Amino acid sequence: MEKKRSFWDRLTGNVREEDEHEEPKKVTLSAHRGLKEKKQDKQEKQENNWIEEENEEAELAVDVYQTPTDIVVQTFVAGVKPEDLELSIARDMITIHGKREEHRNIDEENYFTKELYWGRFSRTLSLPLEIEPEEVEATEKHGLLTIRLQKVDKDKTNNIKVKSL
């Protein structure tokens, strides 16, 4: 079973160490022929297009940590306009959606290497603690998106005076 590569792995072309050292699988002769045909098809596509297109969304790599009052999520979104980012926030979950658009008009045959990721990406995270969805601050600086999510203060109390009507 193939593991989905992270956005960062696709962006940088990284191969995970455990993926490199997988044990070879036993294959029957008919399955071997099918694999060989698939490999030839893939090779032909790569020769014609250099890179096989993927229609799925890429997955963002993130750092998530806490301060005494906040949960902080950081991710790289270089080349993405703030208006092309969408954050969906619930008490225990956050989803980041975006799109990196390519604005170059270069013929495919003029590329020597084409590794940068262009297209849609997203990431949904289950948060380790509840947060206040209304108390969120998102900033971008030099391609680094930082999202500060205020933790729910369960020890906070509020005294209310009762009014007579």
Looking at residue 126, its pLDDT comes to: 93
Looking at residue 63, its pLDDT comes to: 95
Alpha-carbon gap, residue 90 to 131, rounded angstroms: 8
CATH classification at residue 78: 2.60.40.790
| Domain ranges, residue 40 | 24-53
Looking at residue 97, its pLDDT comes to: 92
CB 90 within 8 A of CB 112: no
Looking at residue 150, its pLDDT comes to: 93
User: What is the chain's pLDDT, residue by residue, as a tens digit (165 residues)?
Assistant: 556 677 666 666 666 555 555 554 444 544 445 555 555 555 555 555 544 444 577 888 999 999 999 999 999 998 888 888 999 999 999 999 998 887 778 888 888 888 888 889 999 999 999 999 999 999 999 999 999 999 987 777 777 888 888
Alpha-carbon gap, residue 75 to 143, rounded angstroms: 8
Looking at residue 40, its pLDDT comes to: 59
Residue 29 lies in a domain: yes
Looking at residue 45, its pLDDT comes to: 53
Maximum alpha-carbon separation in the chain = 86
Residue 46: C-alpha distances to residues 7, 10, 35, 49, 114 (Å): 21, 16, 16, 5, 12
Residue 5 lies in a domain: no
Residues 62 and 108 in one domain: yes
Alpha-carbon gap, residue 12 to 108, rounded angstroms: 20
Residue 7 lies in a domain: no
Residues 128 and 145 in one domain: yes
pTM strictly above 0.85: no
Strands (E), the chain: 58-59, 62-66, 70-76, 85-89, 93-100, 119-126, 131-141, 144-151
Residues 63 and 131 in one domain: yes
Structurally, the chain folds into a number of domains equal to 2
